[in-house]
Amino acid sequence: MRRPRLQTAIAGIAVRDLVRDFGTPTYVYDAAVITERIARLSRFDVVRYAQKANGNLAVLDLMRRRGVLVDAVSAGEIQRAFAAGYGAGGDPPPIVYTADVFDRDALDLVAEHGIAVNCGSPDMIEQLAERAPGAELTLRVNPGFGHGHSRKTNTGGEHSKHGIWHEDLEDCVARARRAGLRVTGVHVHIGSGADMEHLALVAKACCGFARRVGPDVTAISAGGGLPTPYRDEDRDVDVDAYFRIWDGERRRLAEDLGHPVRLEIEPGRYLVAESGWLVAEIRAVKREGANHFYLLDAGFNALARPILYGAYHPMAVAPADGSAAERPLRDVVVGGPLCESGDIFTQDDGGVVRSERLPEAKVGDFLVIGCAGAYGFVMASNYNGKPRPAEVLVHDGKAHLVRARETLADLLRGERIPSE
Ligand code: LLP
């Protein structure tokens, strides 16, 4: 799919109008894209959204209304799920806490509300038993292999800190039994942005683990990691083929165990990445030797994926006057305002600066960074004293401010100068 390099509207609303109403930098999400992605996964028994990808309350509310359940990795994310209307109890559980560590505040919330837990470390078993006697739990297993779009997003294999090492599975089931807990599910997540070949291997491995746990298992989870197309040449994954692989394995497992087994999937990026754009203003256009730069009012404080992983994001120019007239293209390096040379959106893994072919632009035009709905705002920071961007959700043709831009006053909140 060839994405346009000149983009005058997002979700049917003129970029110019969005900027007039909400300023820059601003994340804009299209609810229709999220709804459509959810529908594509409807064959799974449970779609459990990994809210770490985008935890905005309006996004969570949208998920909940569409029947999507939620995953939480911290007390803060549990609280977000509650605030968006998710309850604690139920079968399947509306909220699952999946982590390798129980922060004390997370354990308090889990115990108080009876939140379902997916344990990624053996120590969590006794910690849970002490605070929630008799609870059921699921185990996140590290199958000994993994895959991701970057080494930093590969969550399987012995270099990964995630999950219970597959050889320790029986030990953990015994530990749970001794602590008076029952293991009712198995979960495997090998990484983010993995390819289909690797993801397909997981289904077999996961069901093998479930057999080793035994007949108490009533649910398995395929984890997240479904890739989405960032580059023009990337293809959409064949979700139906992926479902068929898992469903086949699940059916054989259910037959062996003698009862139905629920099949969950736990995507983050797949549901939201393509729904989001970061809109920034071009504040400087300049030359450094042979390179031509556009410098924006958003940097890695707003979108960290390029500096962290050399991640590629599609970009387009939105002219300030709203004109859709073609402009000559040129090779441009796109950077932000931060006092750090790595503050470049057009970089490959290892920090190698590259350029992007974009329309001619001048100060005051806007730059629209696409596929920014996942791991965008949630990884934003206040580095260099920058307030985090506003967030806007477009729903039924109307743009709603769903998170106000941070103010300069917000940046000082909680700080004190001790009196002498
Ligand atoms: N389930 C578990 C247990 C996970 O650890 C993750 C992601 C997901 C599901 C969702 O993965 P997804 O479907 O979104 O790929 N900041 C990185 C991604 C880190 C993912 C961490 N865990 C990025 O920007 O690519």
Gap from CA of 54 to ligand 1 centroid (Å): 11
Per the CB < 8 A criterion, the answer to whether 62 and 34 are in contact is yes
Cα-flanking dihedrals φ and ψ of residue 234, to 5°? -70, 145
Helical segments of 114-167, H only: 123-131
For the chain, 420 residues long, give each residue's pLDDT as a single digit of tens: 778 899 999 999 999 999 999 999 999 999 999 999 999 999 999 999 999 999 999 999 999 999 999 999 999 999 999 999 999 989 999 999 999 999 999 999 999 999 999 999 999 999 999 999 999 999 999 999 888 777 778 888 889 899 999 999 999 999 999 999 999 999 999 887 667 777 778 999 999 999 999 999 999 999 999 999 999 999 999 999 999 999 999 999 999 999 999 999 999 999 999 999 999 999 999 999 999 999 999 999 999 999 999 999 999 999 999 999 999 999 999 999 999 999 999 999 899 999 999 999 999 999 999 999 999 999 999 999 999 999 999 999 999 999 999 999 999 999 999 998
Positions annotated as catalytic residues are 339
The pLDDT value recorded for residue 150 is: 79
Ligand 1 touching residue 262 (CB < 6 A): no
Element (H, E) at 219: strand 219-221
CB of 53 closer than 6 A to ligand 1? yes
Question: What are the CA-CA distances from residue 406 to residues 242, 299, 336, 366 (Å)?
Answer: 40, 15, 18, 20
- List the structure tokens of 242: 């992926």
**Contacts of residue 389, Cβ cutoff 8 Å, sequence gap at least 6:** 24, 25, 26, 27, 278, 298, 302, 377, 380, 405
Strands 276-288 and 366-369: antiparallel
Contact by Cβ (8 Å): 146, 155: yes
For residue 2, the model assigns a pLDDT of 79
Ligand 1 touching residue 266 (CB < 6 A): yes
Furthest-apart CA pair in the chain: how many Å?
A: 72
| Spatial distance between the Cα atoms of 340 and 198, rounded to a whole number of angstroms | 37
Nearest CA to ligand 1 atom 23: 375
In this prediction, residue 190 carries a pLDDT of: 87
Choose among 157, 149, 255: nearest CA to 201. 157
Ligand 1, closest atom to CA 140? 3
Counting ligand 1 atoms within 8 A of each CB, the residue from 189, 192, 275 with the most, and so the one to mutate, is 192
Phi/psi at 239 (5° precision): -65, -35
Alpha-carbon distance of 251 to 271, in angstroms, equals 26
What is the reported pLDDT for 149?
79
| Ligand 1 centroid, distance to 193 Cα (angstroms) | 8
Distance between CA 262 and CA 210 in Å, rounded? Answer: 12
Please give the helix or strand (H or E) that residue 412 lies within, else none.
Answer: helix 408-412
Instruction: Report pLDDT for 382.
Output: 98
E strands, 243-325, where? 262-265, 276-288, 291-296, 315-318
